[in-house]
Amino acid sequence: MSGEYRSRAERKQATKQRKQKKGKAKKGASWMKTIAMAILFVIVLAVVGGAATFAYFIKDAPPLDEAKIKDPLSSTLFDMNGKKVAELGGYKRTYVSYKEVPKVLEKAVLAAEDARFYEHHGIDIVRLAGAALANIKEGFGAEGGSTITQQVVKMTFLSPKKTLERKAQEAWLALQLEQKYSKQEILEMYLNKIYYSDGIYGVARAAEYYFGKTNLKDLTLPEAALLAGMPQAPNRYNPFDHPEAAKTRRDTVLTLMARHGFISQDEAEKAKQVPIQSMLVKQRKKQSGVPYDAFIEEVIKEVTDKANVNVFEDGLKIYTTLDQNAQSYVENLLNSNRYFTNKKDLQSGIAVIDTKTGAIRALGGGRHRDQVEFGFNYAIKPVGQPGSTIKPILDYGPAIEYLKWSTAHILVDEPYAYSDGTPIRNASNRYAGEVTMREALTWSYNIPALKTFQAVGKERAMEFANRLGMGFTEVYEPFAIGGVSHYVSPLQMAGAYTAFGNNGIYTKPYAVTKIVFPDGTEMDLRPKPKRVMHDYTAYMITDMLKSVIRSGTGQSAYVPGLEMAGKTGTTNYGEDGRKFGLSKDDVPDSWIIGYTPNYTTAVWVGFSKKSETASLTDREQRIPKLLLKDIMSHIDDGSGKFQQPSSVVKLPIKKGTNPPKLAGKYTPENEIIYELFIRGTEPTETAKDEPKELPMVTGLTASYDQAANTISVSWSYSEQTDDTVFEVHMKDSQGHVQTAVTKELAVSISNPTPGASYTIAVYAKEGERMSKPAITSIQIPGGEPNEGTPTTPGDGSNNSGNGNNGQGNGQGQGNGSNEDENNGNNGTSENGGNDENEDHSDNPSGQSNGGTNSDQPSGDTGGSSSPSAPSTPSNKGSGTTNGSAR
């Protein structure tokens, strides 16, 4: 019974479970069907929407104009004012057909650019999917999926701007191009359009320019790989300028060729061992028909690097920063013999930039380039080590930025060595002892520069320099004085200095503001400005560099009326000089970088090649300064000032104090220097100086005019300022003292007492400072005594007598007067009724010991009639005298 029950119960339960499962299965199938329908709907919607969007984008696509494919369009360049400068295009080129292209070159190009070129119909879906995935991960535009066909379309018809609209038009036109032309014809178009840097277009011309080969069939595997890799970034992979980068790119192409089966792995590895330099011929110069080609070369580089277009064929309107007046002046100056000597291989490069914007105004690419097109450009290419011009960038700028040093910070210029024990010396082989940071920079001392670099630390020094566009990958102690491991260009150095003149804002130098494509679209190529240092760092460096131009190593470049800062620099051969029969102290490079609020100019003078004559004389080392002065005088109108920011405090400092102390009330003017401090770090202690005695007046004379019954007193004073006054004390033989104060160099005493003798003392005073007295005496012809009155002449006249002015010693009776000549020497006397203490009391009011007030005549005191000095402030026992005059 129980077993049967269990079976029945189990059967019932099983039935119930089957029904539930069946219901769930039906319900699950229903949901799956719904989801599938939804996905299908979304796909259909996406396809329809995508098709509609694609149709919308391609409706404005330019037509597939065969004339544009066959006949390139020239580009027009405009200067900073929108005036047409030049037209680029229509130059001769070596056109090659597909039959002339060797298989090794074709395989290299396909491996580098489009390995599935012969398998797709203009658009490579596989490659496009990979690019789309990269764009999803890294953002739109991270990677391109363009085929060779699409690149031909882009170079011919479209702007290089990465937008969905352009990509859609590119794909549409690529499909049309594939329908009209064979694969071989499209590859032929591509190989004849590619830009290869240095103004070279087309693979045939590139093979001749870089390898000296006029027949493409002669290309080797490593040469073909180099040419195939360059179009990705022509200027970056230029083997003349960047051999290491060119080798890396070439080897990448060789790896791709092996991966796609075009060559074996052994062939790839063997080709990688070929040095880049061994493949190249000497860089050649070409005949020029382009104005301002040094500037235009920079334009071409910027447009190709930033926009990846062909300026000679793409029909562009290129708007530049060129100042034609400045450019012409710089070129004429370089080609003249005004400053240059006739020394073999002597060359120069100049870069002129707008200080505020970074816009390049002129580039002097070298001397005698008028018959050369796109030769070596000494303005934009690395030419030499920077010498001491690096000191604001690697040493003193970082010291202010990170350590908050003031311009009064003391450094010791003394015998010193690098950390490895190698001695370092100044150019003069002398040491200046304790100097301020301003003095160290003004006179370009090497030892304080190294000590500053060490205090900052190489990591922070490199960080600061790289924010100014220096591009260092490593720095070492010799960098502190310009011994860098790679060369720099005038354009690079000028760009770095603009940040000092622009309140700490750096903009990478640029020659192109925008380009306009044939379809009317525009591309803005101006770089964005960046703050790279505090405003106090920029201003304090600038203020110190003004001292370099005004009173330091750059004085020859000083232009009156211009607020100009700058830094000079030279380099030495060192041990390398022996290779050319020169000494280690011979100079191959001389620099100056100078700037105003309007312009920054870098000038380099050196040699196109090193040889036994490639050493600059002292005169030739001055050429950059003279060029800078000439250029700045021509282009800068003197407007604008470097504005001191609120973060900087300028204070008077007692010279020689360490740490700096504020100048005190009595600190002599010649011991006060004015230095800059970051607000909040300024000194609070004041130097304790006592007031110093002023210099005495000279040439004191007194003469009597009997007709006018007046005594005329006059003197000279070379140290007179607006604050200088003169106290005149007149004492008669009876001890009466009269005082007058004047700013003039003379007084007139009316109605003197007949027969009286007068002693006259004159003091110079400035506030609480006073000089010792200059003293003279005069005897009035006989008669009854009658007090005279000193007055200042209304016209400031100066009546001079004769006499010998000297300081008495306070001992003995002075000599009497001579009626014909005033050559007597009077001294203060201890005899005759008025003793020394009376004559030289510490009474600035001029009151005598007899109780007489110097401002009012006194009665008869019974004093001696012998002449003696009137009452004088704090000058006991001394007196200067003239012979008395009659």
- Three-class HEC string of 610-638: CCCCCCCCHHHHCHHHHHHHHHHHHHCCC
- Three-class HEC string of 836-869: HHHHCCCCCCCCCCCCCCCCCCCCCCCCCCCCCC
Reported for 114-120, long-range contacts at CB under 8 A and 24+ positions apart, including other chains, are 114/147, 114/148, 115/256, 115/260, 116/147, 117/147, 117/148, 117/149, 117/183, 117/187, 118/183, 120/147
The Cα–Cα gap between 667 and 651 comes to 14
Q: Which of helix, strand or coil describes residue 700? A: strand
**Cα four-point dihedral sign 792, 797, 803, 805:** positive
Structure tokens at 616: 């600059």
Q: Is 720 exposed, middle or buried (0-12, 13-18, 19+ CB in 10 A)?
A: middle
113 catalytic residue (yes or no):
yes
Q: Are 615 and 517 in contact (CB under 8 A)?
A: no
784 catalytic residue (yes or no):
no
Q: Which of helix, strand or coil describes residue 35? A: helix
The Cα–Cα gap between 608 and 638 comes to 35
β-pairing, 75-78 vs 317-320, is parallel
CB atoms within 10 A of CB 440: 26
Active-site residue (options: 106, 113, 188, 298): 113
| Closest C-alpha to 601, from 885, 311, 348, 269 | 348
The Cα–Cα gap between 199 and 635 comes to 30
Active-site residue (options: 75, 146, 159, 388): 388
Structure tokens at 512: 């192109």
Structure tokens at 304: 């190709």
Q: Are 241 and 381 in contact (CB under 8 A)?
A: yes
Structure tokens at 280: 């190249």
Phi, psi of 353 (to 5 degrees): -130, 150
| Closest C-alpha to 477, from 414, 428, 419, 409 | 419
| Closest C-alpha to 732, from 711, 753, 750 | 753
β-pairing, 565-570 vs 590-595, is antiparallel
Give whole-number Cα distances, 226 to 99, 214, 261, 276, 718, in Å.
21, 16, 18, 9, 77
| Closest C-alpha to 735, from 883, 871, 872, 828 | 871
Structure tokens at 350: 């100049």
The Cα–Cα gap between 871 and 161 comes to 93
Give whole-number Cα distances, 620 to 269, 572, 632, in Å.
49, 14, 19
Contacts of 520 (CB under 8 A, 6+ apart): none
The Cα–Cα gap between 614 and 879 comes to 66
**DSSP structural state of residue 201:** B
CB atoms within 10 A of CB 166: 18
Q: Is 396 exposed, middle or buried (0-12, 13-18, 19+ CB in 10 A)?
A: buried
Per 3-state DSSP, the chain is made up of helix, strand and coil in percentages (nearest 5) of: 35, 20, 45
Contacts of 753 (CB under 8 A, 6+ apart): 732, 780, 783, 784, 785, 786, 787, 788
Give whole-number Cα distances, 346 to 68, 608, 617, 643, in Å.
45, 7, 12, 39
Annotated catalytic residues are 113, 388
